[in-house]
Structure 1
Amino acid sequence: MQPNQQGGQKLTSFGYEGNYNDDILQTWIGIGSQLDGLGHLGEGGHYYNCLDEKEISAITGLTKLGTHDVPPLVGRAVIIDMAKHLGKEVMEAGEHFGSTEIKAAAEAQGVTMGEGDIILFHTGWTEGMLESDPMLWGSAEPGLTNEGAVYLASLNPMAVGADTWGLDAIPAAEGDKVFYGHVTLLKDNGIYILETMNVGPLLRDGVNEFMFVLGQPRIKGTVQAMVNPVALY
């Protein structure tokens, strides 16, 4: 763009007849591997800590709960391989898991989940579907049930994530509310969500516990953040 140079105008305030080109960017932030901040999903016009949408949601960005205020996330991370637990490489669209399946998979795989952990799920969805059927990959996914989100929140982790674009099962399990796991984790409990966390390579290295390090871009007022987390093991 050429700011304030329409119709052949020149910038005389420079002390000379100046002209220049500049950039403006409009894009979705919530793409690829991403962090969902606490201002992403709410209910009844409210977000985490009872903040009203009228108070924090401005066209220029969130005035509170923006991801620029999220501190670096560093902690113990664990992977629960739900695909392996179900005896398949890739879970199906809409296939879901709750507390019963999570507990059984964790016990079978020797994974413990504690307060402050980053809990990640492997469904095989991204590795198995992103390139072969991108339309299906982006319109549906296996994932968490509403009840499963309540169970995970009770463990008080730092964050919950998966190798899918939205964590919750889509289409939702019968009787579940769509993306209500987001409401439970973000709004009700202040637990961050991590999406499109492709943990398949870690599992193939025999790793299901590691040090998780994430520093997000500090674009002021953002609801989500494109991230490149590091696994140390």
Structure 2
Amino acid sequence: MNTRNRYSWYKQLLLVMPLAGAITAAGQNTHATEQAGISPWGKSDEIGTLNMMSDSNNLSLFSRIRTGKVYDLGVEYFTGMPGFTALGDPPYQYWLTHTPRGTVVGNVTKQGDEMNRKVSYTGDAVSMYTHTGTHIDALSHFGLNGRIWNGYTADEHLGDRGWDKGGAENIPPIIGRAVLIDIPAWKGVEVLPGNYVITLAELRQLLQAQHLDIQKGDIVLIRTGLMKYFYTDTERFMSNTPGMSMEAIKWLIEEKGVMTLGADNLSVEVMPSGNDKNWLPGHTYLLAQKGVMFIELLYLEELSVAKIKEFVFIGQPLKLRGASGAPVRPLAIPL
């Protein structure tokens, strides 16, 4: 890809970000319809629609499992992996802190040459943005007009060690019935083209054609096929991102009552959004207005090949105190 075209959607985002900031600074009168929602689960709620989970629902789901096959929906973390570096966030970094040879030479263990040659020792460390790889967005990630979900404000709840409301440490293990919406497989293509918009009409057609039923409290995962480039072509993966239209997202949340969403792309929604009033309207709608946390950069390729459409989803995010997001290792067990 030509260097000048690299991460073209990022350039478009950077152009509209000052506008988004101006909208926020202008106050609530600018876009009165876009306000942070107040939770129906109470004034202390910090997990939004994940309150829909219950022990009885989990037991019912587990009783329907008839196979021992488990699909891993997480990506590998590696140096040079796709990330939000164009927005100033740090890349994934890996380095060795101890090596077998270094232990012998430096004797950091204080065990001596003979012991260090006998007992090898390797240690390492990583550093990354919390929204790297397969991860979930916490409710503190995006807000509207100075407030996040349930009316919490940065002035009152964001300190030097992160948010004391809506942080990733509050996210429980996520368990639920999940449905895979495999758009490229249905269309007979490997991957959707850049900035392709998955419309509500298309979503409904797929569900009808494949006899898929979305139920209240479900987890809906969207495959765009973009993972084709995740390990091999970072620049192409980070270019214009196919994703869901706002109409389709709102239908899933408001009409179908799904618990959460996930996708194999960077954002679930299409990017760039083409909205000059809100550079990421799907994020603010889901997180701030509706209290819906969602998962990005899911690896859905094996589910697609196996033609698995309905499954138990199990995901356990890292409990990163105060963070706006956290890595998650999701699993799928077919029903």
In 1, Cα distance between equivalents of 2:230 and 2:296: 14
TM-superposition CA deviations, 1:52-82 (whole Å, max 9, x none):
2222222311110011111111110100111
Q: Matches of 2:223 and 2:125 in 1, distance apart?
A: 37
CA distance in 2, matches of 1:178, 1:144: 14
153, 156, 164: which one aligns with 2:253: 153
CA distance in 2 between counterparts of 1:24 and 1:51 reads: 34
Letter matched to residue 48 of structure 1: W
Considering only aligned residues, what root-mean-square deviation do their CA atoms show, in Å?
A: 2.0
Q: Assess if the C-alpha contact under 8 Å between 1:145 and 1:173 holds in 2.
A: no
Which whole-Å CA distance do the structure 2 matches of 1:137 and 1:72 have between them? 29
Letter in 1 for 2:200: S
Q: Does 1:91 align with 2:192?
A: yes
Q: Quick one: structure 1 residues 177 and 91, their matched pair in 2 at CA, closer, same or farther if it must change by over 3 Å? A: farther
Task: Give the AA of the match of 1:222.
Answer: A
> For the residues of structure 2 that align with 1:175 and 1:111, how far apart are their CA atoms?
35
- For 1:115 and 1:175, the matched residues in 2 are separated by 32
Shift of 1:173: 4.5
CA contact (8 A) 1:149 1:184 kept: no
1:181 aligned residue: 282
Pair 1:176–1:152, CA change in 2 (3 A): farther
- Alpha-carbon offset, residue 86 of structure 1: 3.0
Instruction: Map residues 69-218 of structure 1 onto 2, 5 A cutoff.
Output: 69-126=170-227, 128-154=228-254, 155-173=256-274, 177-218=278-319
Taking the aligned partners of 1:199 and 1:157, their CA distance within structure 2 comes to 19
Residue in 2 aligned with 1:30? Answer: 131
Asked if the contact 2:178/2:312 (under 8 Å) is kept, the reply is yes
Q: 1:56 aligns with which of 154, 157, 172?
A: 157
Once the 2 structures are TM-superposed, how far is the Cα of residue 139 of structure 1 from its aligned partner?
Answer: 3.6
Distance 2:173 2:234 in 1: 31
Q: Distance in 2 between the 1:206 and 1:86 partners? A: 14
Q: Percent identity?
A: 28
1:215 counterpart SS class: strand
What is the CA–CA distance in structure 1 between the aligned matches of 2:220 and 2:332, rounded to whole Å? 13
Equivalent residue letter for 2:240: A
User: What 5-or-longer segments of structure 1 have no aligned partner?
Assistant: 1-22
The answer to whether the 8 A contact 2:185-2:304 is kept is no
For residue 224 of structure 1, report the CA deviation from its aligned partner.
0.5
Greater helix content: 2
Query: Where does 1:4-23 land on structure 2 (aligned, <5 Å)?
Result: none
Q: Which amino acid aligns with 2:230?
A: L
Determine the C-alpha separation between the residues in 2 that align with 1:97 and 1:36. Answer: 21
Match 2:169 to one of 43, 56, 68: 68
User: Does 1:225 find its partner at 2:317?
Assistant: no
Q: Matches of 1:181 and 1:149 in 2, distance apart?
A: 7
Contact 1:80–1:109 (CA<8 Å) still a contact in 2? Answer: no
CA distance in 2, matches of 1:104, 1:178: 28
**Separation in 2 of the partners of 1:24 and 1:129?**
26
- The answer for the alignment partner of 1:16 in structure 2 is none
Q: Cα offset for 1:195?
A: 0.4
Alignment match, 2:54: none
Between the two proteins, the alignment pairs up a number of residues equal to 210
